[in-house]
Amino acid sequence: MFARVDASTALAPNPGSPSPGPRTPGRNLHRFANPGRFLRQSGAVLPWLSLAALLFTTTGLVWGLFFAPADWQQGDAVRIIYIHVPAAWLASAGYFALAVCSAVSLIWRHPLADLAAAEIGPVGAGFTALCLATGSLWGRPMWGAWWVWDARLTSVLVLFFLYLGHVALVRAFDDPQRGYRAGAVLALIGVVNLPIIKFSVDWWNTLHQPASILLTGAPTMYLPMLWPLFVSAIGYSLCFAAIVIARTRAAVMERRIRALLMARAEAAQ
């Protein structure tokens, strides 16, 4: 188990092994597979990341909920976008990060990628649940129903189930490696749902409004409403990253403690 490896020697080559060849992406990635190095670097970054997340999220929500103008059609009900839209963005972006970690795990057997993927799952599921809940609250006054089987809503619900499936699969096996492999395969298969979520409002005639922020054109939102939305989105993103890093640090330390206890038990026999 990599938890027993000393931080200073984890990646050192054997004395009799041939000199390594040119650097490859996998070899560069394994520079960061050392749990001691990860704990040191993440421990230095996490307090500042958490502080920035708190400042941006608080500023964006207070700005949007109390000071941004109301919409001329939807009135004050539109203020839920400062919670709903960043949560929707993180639901998809978090799953993409989960898929990237899964690909790194399958291709390069990166040990920290396994742990990161396992910890992204519950966090992504939480943000997706927040997206669905706030979307339902928004839909009731706008559409007259708490839920409709709209293409966008249905594909996000599928995303929520993919997150839950990944969480369950990772923890369903006695051998953690089998759980990581099964979860990684599911995560990569589920990536096909991300473009469906993104383009569902363009491909089908849906109740959900189209995107207000486009990469190929000017935003259709009123700028005094757009700026607090951007600040909230940055805050949510930083919150997501801080929570995942904190959970991954806890998982690394838990594995180290478990390995230490097992070594003591074996020595006592």
- 144-196 confidence digits (pLDDT tens): 888 888 888 899 999 999 999 999 999 999 888 999 999 999 999 999 999 99
Token pair belonging to 72: 């001329």
- Would you tell me how many other CB atoms lie within 10 Å of the CB of residue 203? 11
- 104-115 confidence digits (pLDDT tens): 999 988 888 999
Q: Which residue stretches of the chain have pLDDT < 70?
A: 1-33, 202, 204-220
pLDDT of 9 reads 34
pTM, entire model = 0.83
Q: Helices in 111-175 by DSSP H: which ranges?
A: 111-143, 151-170
pLDDT of 207 reads 58
Question: b/e map of 224-252 (b: 16 or more CB within 10 Å)?
Answer: ebeebbebbbbbbbbbbbbbbbbbbbebb
